[in-house]
Amino acid sequence: MLRIATIGTSMITSDFIEVVNESADAVFVGTLSRNAERAASFTSERGGTLPFSDLGELAASDAVDAVYIGSPNALHAEQALACIAGGKHVMVEKPLGANEREAKAVLDAARDAGVVALEAMRPVHDPAFWAVRDALGELGRIRRADLRFGKYSSRYDEILAGRQTNIFDCRMASGALMDIGVYCVEALIALFGKPDAITCTPVLLDEDTRELTAGALDGAGTIVARYPHMSATLSYAKITNDNLPCQIEGEEATLSFAGVSVPMQARIDYRGRALRGAAKEVRPAEGAHSRELELPGCANTMAYELADFVAAVEAVRAGADLLDAAAGPFGTVGYFRDVTLTSIALMDEARRQAGIVFPADAR
């Protein structure tokens, strides 16, 4: 049984506590909030018994085995390091740190302390994602991938109204790439590994919002990743709605699926044999056909990352070497560490090209 406390009182934290409460292997202890009353009410409303209002107290608590950190991005590393120093396993919302240096500090500290540090990156713990990956072999040589996630954020309304919001704030290490592009990046790394090179073209928020956002920050962006025989385009946006599915094009077939964070509605279109065509019509093919993939579904896919986190902790408790410990069916702690570090390093380079600098980068 894993006794889990949480940091943060956001909706995502509520969603995580929901899957903890549904799990037979974990129990929700309580939530940390600087506001003691808020901590108490948030905790009791969700079945917890022990609210916290001080990080040191949480980190030192004997009643807690692990901490889920759902605070603003810029706080992830510092809070994770404090919890790790207190011997706690940590599950950290994406992105695990504001930059590679922070992420590495957290992951190295966890390794040295012998505790599990796992990034809460839903797709890479979701069997639907790996079912999509397993189908890639049917596409022939893969030549291009489009991974996309664009959803207009109600927080952009705040910016337009001239009000600060953590979701668009360099001090919080947020913005479109960090908050939503990260799903595309980590899916890319999990599917295709580290690219040879990237280009990042951001759509920056207007210059007259720079004071609100504490510097240049992206509302949307496009990263093109180059591989030896293919390329991938990552499109992310928080100021528009992107209604297209993800798509992976092979020479023999093209696969599409909706929702890079929660893969669903996957299908493969086999091209058949190409025939010579003419300008006025869609070029015909012989033997083209389609197939829907059966994907496992789940009302709240945070259940998967929780299960993998619990499994990793249990493996470590049972004596497994930390990095070799299986974090569920899809990878070891070391594998997910690599996905996280490679992804955040890619995002560092993307931000460098985009001219997006966080205060955390200077520390």
Question: SS3 for 128?
Answer: helix
Q: Which of residues 83-142 bind its own copies (CB under 8 A)?
A: 122
- Yes or no: say if 263 and 129 are a contact pair by the CB < 8 Å rule: yes
Cα→Cα distances 241→57, 200, 295, Å: 42, 20, 25
Distance CA 130, CA 124 (A): 8
Question: SS3 for 310?
Answer: helix
Question: SS3 for 49?
Answer: coil
User: Binding of its own copies at residue 1 (CB under 8 A)?
Assistant: no
User: Binding of its own copies at residue 247 (CB under 8 A)?
Assistant: yes
User: Binding of its own copies at residue 355 (CB under 8 A)?
Assistant: no
Q: Residue 79 Cβ, how far from its own copies at the closest point, in Å?
A: 19
Q: Residue 245 Cβ, how far from its own copies at the closest point, in Å?
A: 7
User: Which residue, 24 or 275, has its beta carbon nearer to its own copies?
Assistant: 275
User: Binding of its own copies at residue 11 (CB under 8 A)?
Assistant: yes
Q: Which amino acid is at 111?
A: R
Per-position x/- string for 298-317, each x denoting binding to its own copies as judged by CB under 8 A, each - no binding:
-xxxx---------------
- Estimate to the nearest angstrom the gap between the alpha carbon of 136 and the chain centroid: 21
User: Which residue, 96 or 113, has its beta carbon nearer to its own copies?
Assistant: 96
Neighbouring C-beta atoms of residue 53, cutoff 10 Å: 16
Q: Residue 264 Cβ, how far from its own copies at the closest point, in Å?
A: 10
Distance CA 6, CA 44 (A): 13
Q: 19-29: b or e for each residue (b if 16 or more CB lie within 10 Å)?
A: bbeebeebbbb
- The answer to whether the peptide bond before residue 95 is cis (omega within 30 degrees of 0) is yes
Of 152, 320, 323, 359, which one interacts with its own copies (CB under 8 A)? 152
Q: Residue 280 Cβ, how far from its own copies at the closest point, in Å?
A: 4
Q: Residue 324 Cβ, how far from its own copies at the closest point, in Å?
A: 30
Q: Residue 309 Cβ, how far from its own copies at the closest point, in Å?
A: 16
User: Binding of its own copies at residue 276 (CB under 8 A)?
Assistant: yes
How many separate helices (H) and strands (E) can be counted in the chain?
A: 13, 15
Contacts to its own copies by CB under 8 A: 11-12, 14-15, 122, 143-144, 146, 150-154, 156-157, 199, 201-203, 206, 219-222, 224, 226, 229-231, 233, 235, 237, 239-245, 247, 249-251, 253-254, 256, 262, 269, 271, 274-280, 282-283, 285, 299-302
